[in-house]
Every structure is written in structure tokens, then in C-alpha cells.
């Protein structure tokens, strides 16, 4: 287990470096990410290079048994770069320059930036590729974190080249962008500009390519550095730090070029959904490289500095959040940063070694965590432990959130809601692209898959045909990879699988919803339906209860599907809300609206999304990691390792047979205080009543009973 932090010794006089190494040893640190923002120290002027200080630091760390993840230091060009080469500066939508004085002030497609950065990387590579203390390379830093869209002239030129490579002829581009609309037909590639400030909406197909291009430019920077390191003889793993579900960069395209996936995660203590959101992030990161443990490359020991209000973590949350990463596949736990800065924008950001010193709650937590991680045995690789896959796709994210649609969709928020219904039930989920869906899963959930590529559609259809269960809708299968409607209407790919024909979107907007009849509801339900309609929701009945749903109430016709629930209110009253269709050996479910999530388990203000998920889960035979856990206890499986985390406010006791992974002692129950964590080695057991022929993945734990404590 790697344990450590970003280390910025260039912010400190040499006198503290020995102290740093000593305290790192005390905390159990075994790796640091070194020199991420050290370009101006390494190359103070174009023809001046200073590696002596870096040599000294690396030697000291190496002698102290601390491995180095050496940064390429290209994320913040020094002032001389911006002054001498202003063409390296990025521009905003209006063409105005971004200026230096912060960080990440470079145009990713600038050939001059790439030349200068490349030279720095080459020298670092040649000097340290064979240093025994350097065990990994950290390329750039959080590519695109502050600046993910550059509209500069460098971007313009690169965009034209990128488009020409993609389409070869301008006619092919005109077709792909549908430029017959609004007189947008291009005669040559050099008539094309980045989507700079325009009077009204840009062509949506061009916006999709612009998104692809901007992600690719960041990736090209990473790949350029990687290539240079390899040419310099580097044999260590090369990576960069991801930021979870980060819209500007399609990490699924990046992942094959990362030797190991590293991720930065900063759960917001003020976010009531922080546990769910962080779990999703970690599952997404794990799923980018199945079977390979990933590294939590940055988290905070306590408060950050960059939110409007920066509350600290709850007592114990540091261990609980760390455990969540390990549970979901991490083999490294790192922080930003080792020693708290004494100057600069991040001086209020927490660190492993706080400015207030070692007689602090933070230092205690950090040393305790180090000891606990050191006690862990070698952990199993995260396997295919999930029976459920949630489809999450960057191109779809970009397309579905373009403007001029029936209604605005917050794709990530929607995906998180769906994920949350599984997370709350401790049902393990992989996060995959549509093309990655295969029969190792039992249930696949695909919310708002507006842009559906042909291969993705084929994979989903095959999955159902071969016996899987698909749950999808609404706003799914609307456009192809160019953001064009396909011939033949909507649901052209999945309609036969779903047994549905799609007629209309039915966006819900405030009081317009619920205008039509309310059906045979009780007076209370009618009242609830009216209230709901005023909020832009409609209702549907499921298993004798009435639930609300929002965003859209689509008009679909069952052409083979069974109608499990119909809308009771709103413009679609009487038409299907939830359908189920047998297709091949499997089943496909469609929900024609977004069920409202949260609230009590039943009732018109109840957890509609939870009710739909529970229905489909029951039908598909999917099981949780551990049965019958009390609310607030999170469980995840990683091969033989089951991690239990109590996010609740009371102490719980959980019956589970296995071995305590930290002590090696056999257990039949664990007691968890609030924020308490247990790592239990508990080999996969056969699921009671499950048919192994339809349970191809690592399955479920023996049922655990909850014993309330006095
Ligand atoms: C990001 C960066 C770090 C630092 C932290 C602060 O993750 O990579 O350099 O700025 O944020 O939280």
C-alpha cells in the first residue's frame, strides 16, 4: 500500500528537508509526488538549468526509504515562458488572452509550449530514468483542471488539422455537422474556427467535435510527455492524476495510456451525498482499468481552501473515506500535500504536516492512518465483483447537455441519482461505456443515453438477447455519434429490444404538468398529484403506491412490452410510465420519466427511483454485497476482501464470518463505531438460491444479521 503526498520542497529552505524525511518516516509515508510545480526552479531562464537541488532531495528521500513519483513539472510554465512566448497563452471564448500569475496558463495545442515542455521532460527523463529512488512518473497535473477549453489561434490551427484528419474531405465534415442548416456549409477547412463567442447557439454537431478535440489536445500533451520519457529510457509506470467524472476529458479514451490510473478526490464535507458521490467516483476510476488496482493520488487530510466555505472533515472521516477507496480498488493513498504551504493561494489547505505542527489532531490522524495501512496484508486485485453495470459515457454527456433540447439535463446528477439507488442497497456497480457491456453483468442501467453509437446499441441488444436485464430511459437512443436523428424516428436501435415505439418527449415544466386527468386515485393521492404537478412532476402507481417523477413524461407505445406502471397524472395520463419486455433470453425495462429519488421508501413523496430500482433488482436476481445491513453502513467487495464502513450516527454490530484483514483473527461479527471501518477477508460464497449458470460474477456474502447494541 503506497502512502504519501505531493511534496513541494522547493517552497522551503533546505534546512527543513531532513526534518521532512524524518517526519515522513514517522507517519509511515513511503512515496511522494515530487516537484509538480517546480518548472521555474528547475529552469529559471530559457538557457539556465538547475537540477542540483532536485538531486539532493531525491537522494535524501531515497536514503530515507521514501520512493519518488517524479513530476514532469509542466503544469505551470515559468514567467519567462509567458513573457517571451505570449503565443503559448490560452484564450477565452471571446479571444481574450488568459494571463500568467496563477497556473495552467498554457494553450495545450501551442507548438511552442509543447516544445518547451518537451525539452524539460527530456532532461528530467534522461537524468532520472535510471535512478533507483524514482519509481513512477507523474505527467503534468490534473490536465484541464482550470483551463479545459482554449479558443486561441494555436487551438484554431490545431482544430482545423484535427478535423481534416477526422473527415479527410470538407464534404464529409459538412455531412457530419449538418451544415445545410443556417447557411453553415464550409468550402475549406481553413474557414472553420473554434466555437468562439457567437450571437446564438453553435452548431451542436460541431460542439461535439469541439469537445472531442479539446479532450484530445489535453491527451496529446500527456502522450507527448509519455513518449519522451519512454525514449529517455524510463521503465517506471507513467501516469497523471484524473479528477473522477471530469466532463472535459474522456478518461475512457485516456485509460489505455496510463500504466496505472491515479485519481484525485475531495469529498465536500457539506455535501449530504458525499459518500454516494465519492463511491461513484471510485467505482468509475476502478472500472477504467478492470482488474488493476488504482491509486488515490490526492485527497485532503482536512479542509480544502477552494470552496466558498471550507469545513473540516468529521472526526474519523479521513479513515472512512480512505477505506472507501481501498474497498473500491485503490492500492495507494496520497494527499495534497505533505507540508502545508506558508505562502500562496493554498496556504489554508490542510496537509499531512499542518502549519501548527505535530501536536495536532491532523498529525495524529495521519500517523494513525499510516500505521493502519501498514498493517493491511497484500490486497486482492479488484476483480469483476459487480453484477451491475451503470452506463456512463463522455460523448453522451457532452451531447445530452448541449442547448436547444426539449429540457435541460444535468447528466452527472442524473447518473448519480441512479447510482445512489444501488449504493444505498450496497449493490456493487461497475461504471462502463455502452460498448463495454457484456454478459459478465446481470443487470445494466443506462440513464439518459441520448447519444447512442451503433456499437453501443449492438452491445446492449446482445446483452439482453443473451439473458441480461437492461433498465433504461428516458431521453435515450435519440441521436447517432454526430448528434443527428437517425432515420425512422426515435428508439431506432433499442425499440425492438424494449418492445416500444417512441412518439414524443413531453418535457415537464412547472404547472403545465398535471393538467390532464388524474385517474382513479384516492383523494390524498389526487392532492399529492396536484401539488407534484405544480412542481413539474407527474405521478405513476407501482405496487399499490403512488410515486412522483420529473423532467419529462415521454409518450411511448407498447408494441410488445408489458406496461408495469402507467402515468396517473399530467399530459401523458394513461400512457406507459414503466415497461418490461422479454427479448431473447433477457428482459428490457424502460421508464418514461425520471422517478424522484430520496424520501421515505413509499408514498407519494417517496423514493420513486428506489422503488423502480427495487422492482428491477428483484426481477433480475441481483444481490447486495452483504444482506441486511443497517442504514448508513456501506459495504463493498474487492475479491475476497469485504469492507464495511459505518457512515451512520450510531454504533452497530454486524454478523459476518471471515478473518479480520488487519489482525488476521477469525471473526463472526464486527462492531463499528460511527465512521468505523472493518476489513474482513470473506471468500465469495454461493448465493442462496442463485443459479450459478446465470451468476457469472463473484457473487454475494452469506446473509449477515444486524444485532442492535444496547
Ligand atoms: C488539485 C491539485 C493540487 C492542489 C489541490 C488542492 O488537486 O492537483 O495541486 O491544488 O487541488 O486541493
Per-residue H/E/C for 456-506 = HHHHHHHHHHCCCEEEECCCCCCECCCCCECCCCCCCCCHHHHCEEEEECC
Q: What's the CA-to-centroid distance between 336 and ligand 1, angstroms?
A: 6
Distance CA(346)–CA(243), nearest Å, equals 18
Distance CA(483)–CA(461), nearest Å, equals 21
| Distances, alpha carbon 69 to alpha carbons 33, 54, 137, 239, 282, in Å | 5, 13, 5, 10, 21
Question: What residue owns the CA closest to ligand 1's atom 6?
Answer: 336
Question: What residue owns the CA closest to ligand 1's atom 4?
Answer: 336
Q: Is the beta carbon of 263 within 6 A of some atom in ligand 1? A: no
Q: What's the CA-to-centroid distance between 429 and ligand 1, angstroms?
A: 28
CATH 2.120.10.60 fits 633-681, yes or no: no
Q: What's the CA-to-centroid distance between 355 and ligand 1, angstroms?
A: 18
3-state SS class at 378: coil
pLDDT at 218: 98
pLDDT at 507: 93
- Ligand 1 atom with the smallest distance to the CA of 264 is 7
Distance CA(218)–CA(113), nearest Å, equals 12
By 3-state DSSP, what share of the chain in percent is helix, strand and coil, each rounded to 5?
Answer: 35, 20, 45
Most informative mutation of 7, 37, 69, 142 for ligand 1 (most atoms within 8 A of CB)? 142
User: What are 448's three cell numbers?
Assistant: 439518459
Give the residues across from 430 on adjacent strands.
Answer: 389
CA dihedral 423, 429, 435, 438 (to 10 degrees): -140
Give the residues across from 700 on adjacent strands.
Answer: 685
Distance CA(26)–CA(366), nearest Å, equals 10
Q: In sequence order, what DSSP letters do the residues of 426-443 get, joined into one string? A: T--EEEE-GGG--TT-SE
CATH class of 237-377+692-710: alpha beta
Most informative mutation of 298, 335, 344 for ligand 1 (most atoms within 8 A of CB)? 298
Q: What's the CA-to-centroid distance between 490 and ligand 1, angstroms?
A: 43
Query: Which of the following is catalytic: 59, 119, 142, 408?
Result: 142
Question: What residue owns the CA closest to ligand 1's atom 5?
Answer: 336
Chain centroid to Cα 78, Å, comes to 31
Task: Please choose, from the candidates 443, 441, 416, 494, the residue with its C-alpha nearest in 3D space to the C-alpha of residue 615.
Answer: 443
Task: Please choose, from the candidates 243, 372, 251, 263, the residue with its C-alpha nearest in 3D space to the C-alpha of residue 316.
Answer: 372
Q: Is the beta carbon of 141 within 6 A of some atom in ligand 1? A: yes
32: how many CB neighbours lie within 10 A of its CB? 29
CATH class of 388-620: alpha beta
Q: Is the beta carbon of 349 within 6 A of some atom in ligand 1? A: yes
Q: What's the CA-to-centroid distance between 298 and ligand 1, angstroms?
A: 7
pLDDT at 571: 86
CB neighbour burial string for 419-429, b if at least 16 within 10 angstroms, e if fewer: bbbbbbbbbbb
Most informative mutation of 243, 346, 347 for ligand 1 (most atoms within 8 A of CB)? 346
Query: Which of the following is catalytic: 225, 298, 321, 402?
Result: 298
Q: Is the beta carbon of 298 within 6 A of some atom in ligand 1? A: yes
Q: Where in the chain is the domain with CATH 3.20.20.80?
A: 237-377+692-710
SS (H, E, C) 142-207: CCCCCCCCCCCHHHHHHHHHHHHHHHCCHHHHHHHHCCCHHHCCCCCHHHCCCCCCCCCCCCHHHH
Q: What's the CA-to-centroid distance between 34 and ligand 1, angstroms?
A: 14
298 is catalytic: yes
Q: Where in the chain is the domain with CATH 3.40.50.880?
A: 388-620
Q: Which residue stretches of 289-393 are H helix?
A: 317-327, 361-375
pLDDT at 709: 28
Q: Where in the chain is the domain with CATH 2.60.40.1180?
A: 633-681
| Distances, alpha carbon 655 to alpha carbons 116, 428, 634, 638, 644, in Å | 59, 20, 14, 19, 11
End-to-end CA gap in the chain: 37
- Ligand 1 atom with the smallest distance to the CA of 304 is 12
Phi (first) and psi of residue 702, to 5 degrees: -60, 150
The segments of the chain whose pLDDT lies below 50 read 511-520, 534, 686-710
Which phi-psi region, left, alpha or beta, contains residue 176 (left: φ > 0; alpha: ψ -120 to 50)?
Answer: alpha
Q: What's the CA-to-centroid distance between 63 and ligand 1, angstroms?
A: 28
Query: Is 534:515 a contact under the CB 8 Å cutoff?
Result: no
- Cβ-in-10-Å burial (0-12, 13-18, 19+) of 386 comes to buried
Q: Is the beta carbon of 264 within 6 A of some atom in ligand 1? A: yes
- Ligand 1 atom with the smallest distance to the CA of 36 is 9
Question: What residue owns the CA closest to ligand 1's atom 2?
Answer: 142
Q: Is the beta carbon of 206 within 6 A of some atom in ligand 1? A: no
Question: What residue owns the CA closest to ligand 1's atom 11?
Answer: 336
554 is catalytic: no
Q: What's the CA-to-centroid distance between 300 and ligand 1, angstroms?
A: 9
Q: What's the CA-to-centroid distance between 145 and ligand 1, angstroms?
A: 9
Distance CA(668)–CA(705), nearest Å, equals 11
Q: Is the beta carbon of 304 within 6 A of some atom in ligand 1? A: yes
3-state SS class at 421: helix
615: how many CB neighbours lie within 10 A of its CB? 18
Amino acid at each position: 500500500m503506497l502512502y504519501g503526498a505531493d511534496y513541494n520542497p522547493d517552497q522551503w529552505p533546505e534546512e527543513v528537508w531532513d526534518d521532512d524525511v524524518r517526519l515522513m518516516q514517522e507517519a509511515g509515508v513511503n512515496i511522494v509526488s515530487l516537484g509538480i510545480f517546480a518548472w521555474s526552479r528547475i529552469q529559471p531562464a530559457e538557457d539556465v538549468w538547475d537540477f542540483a537541488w532536485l538531486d539532493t532531495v531525491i537522494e535524501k528521500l531515497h536514503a530515507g526509504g521514501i520512493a519518488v513519483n517524479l513530476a514532469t513539472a509542466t503544469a505551470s510554465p515559468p514567467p519567462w515562458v509567458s513573457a517571451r512566448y505570449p503565443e503559448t497563452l490560452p484564450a477565452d471564448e471571446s479571444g481574450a488572452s488568459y494571463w500568467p500569475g496563477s497556473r495552467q496558463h498554457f494553450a495545450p495545442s501551442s507548438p511552442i509550449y509543447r516544445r518547451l515542455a518537451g525539452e524539460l521532460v527530456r532532461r528530467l527523463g534522461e537524468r532520472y530514468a535510471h535512478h533507483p529512488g524514482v519509481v513512477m512518473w507523474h505527467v503534468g497535473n490534473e490536465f484541464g483542471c482550470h483551463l479545459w477549453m482554449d479558443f486561441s489561434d494555436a487551438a484554431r490551427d490545431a482544430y482545423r488539422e484535427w478535423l481534416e484528419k477526422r473527415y479527410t474531405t470538407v464534404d464529409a465534415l459538412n455531412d457530419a455537422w449538418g451544415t445545410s442548416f443556417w447557411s453553415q456549409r464550409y468550402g475549406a477547412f481553413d474557414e472553420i474556427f473554434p466555437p468562439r463567442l457567437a450571437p446564438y447557439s453553435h452548431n451542436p454537431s460541431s460542439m461535439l467535435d469541439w469537445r472531442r478535440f479539446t479532450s484530445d489536445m489535453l491527451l496529446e500533451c500527456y502522450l507527448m510527455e509519455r513518449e519522451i520519457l519512454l525514449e529517455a529510457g524510463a521503465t517506471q509506470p507513467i501516469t497523471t492524476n484524473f479528477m473522477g467524472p471530469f466532463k472535459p476529458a474522456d478518461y475512457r479514451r485516456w485509460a489505455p495510456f496510463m500504466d496505472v490510473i491515479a485519481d484525485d478526490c475531495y469529498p465536500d464535507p457539506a455535501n449530504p451525498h458525499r459518500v454516494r458521490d465519492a463511491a461513484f467516483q471510485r467505482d468509475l476510476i476502478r472500472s477504467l482499468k478492470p482488474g488493476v488496482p488504482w491509486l488515490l493520488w490526492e485527497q485532503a487530510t482536512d479542509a480544502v481552501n477552494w470552496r466558498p466555505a471550507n469545513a473540516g472533515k468529521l472526526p474519523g472521516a479521513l479513515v472512512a473515506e480512505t477505506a472507501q477507496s481501498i474497498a473500491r480498488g485503490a492500492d495507494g493513498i496520497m494527499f495534497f500535500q505533505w507540508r502545508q504551504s506558508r505562502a500562496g493561494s493554498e496556504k489554508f489547505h490542510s496537509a499531512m504536516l499542518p502549519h501548527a505542527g505535530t501536536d495536532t489532531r491532523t498529525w495524529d490522524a495521519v500517523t494513525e492512518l499510516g500505521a493502519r495501512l501498514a498493517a493491511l496484508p497484500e490486497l486482492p486485485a479488484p476483480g469483476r465483483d459487480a453484477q451491475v453495470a451503470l452506463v456512463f459515457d463522455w460523448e453522451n454527456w457532452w451531447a445530452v447537455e448541449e442547448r436547444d433540447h426539449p429540457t435541460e439535463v444535468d447528466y452527472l446528477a442524473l447518473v448519480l441519482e441512479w447510482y445512489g439507488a444501488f449504493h444505498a442497497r450496497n449493490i456493487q456497480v461497475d461504471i462502463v461505456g455502452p460498448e463495454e457491456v457484456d454478459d459478465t453483468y446481470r443487470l445494466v442501467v443506462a440513464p439518459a443515453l441520448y447519444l447512442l453509437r451503433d456499437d453501443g446499441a449492438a452491445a446492449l441488444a446482445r446483452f439482453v438477447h443473451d439473458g441480461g436485464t437492461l433498465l433504461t430511459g428516458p431521453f435515450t437512443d435519440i441521436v447517432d455519434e454526430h448528434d443527428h436523428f437517425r432515420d425512422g424516428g426515435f428508439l431506432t436501435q433499442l425499440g425492438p429490444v424494449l418492445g416500444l415505439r417512441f412518439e414524443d418527449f413531453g418535457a415537464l415544466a412547472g404547472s403545465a404538468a398535471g393538467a390532464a386527468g388524474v385517474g382513479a386515485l384516492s383523494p390524498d393521492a389526487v392532492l399529492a398529484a396536484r401539488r407534484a404537478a405544480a412542481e413539474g412532476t407527474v405521478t405513476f402507481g407501482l405496487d399499490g403506491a403512488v410515486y412522483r417523477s420529473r423532467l419529462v413524461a415521454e409518450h411511448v407505445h407498447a408494441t410488445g412490452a408489458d406496461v408495469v406502471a402507467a402515468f396517473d397524472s399530467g399530459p401523458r395520463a394513461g400512457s406507459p410510465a414503466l415497461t418490461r419486455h422479454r427479448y431473447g433470453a433477457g428482459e428490457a425495462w424502460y421508464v418514461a420519466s425520471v422517478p424522484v429519488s430520496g424520501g421515505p421508501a413509499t408514498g407519494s413523496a417517496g423514493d420513486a427511483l428506489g422503488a423502480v430500482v427495487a422492482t428491477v433488482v428483484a426481477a433480475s436476481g441481483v444481490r447486495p454485497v452483504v444482506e441486511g445491513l443497517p442504514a448508513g453502513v456501506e459495504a463493498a467487495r474487492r475479491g475476497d476482501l469485504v469492507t464495511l464502513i459505518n457512515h451512520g450516527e450510531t454504533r452497530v454490530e454486524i454478523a459476518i464470518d471471515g478473518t479480520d484483514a488487519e489482525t488476521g483473527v477469525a471473526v463472526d461479527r464486527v462492531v463499528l463505531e460511527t465512521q468505523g471501518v472493518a476489513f474482513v477477508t470473506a471468500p465469495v460464497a454461493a448465493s442462496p438460491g442463485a443459479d450459478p449458470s446465470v451468476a457469472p460474477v463473484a457473487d454475494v456474502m452469506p446473509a449477515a444479521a444486524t444485532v442492535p447494541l444496547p
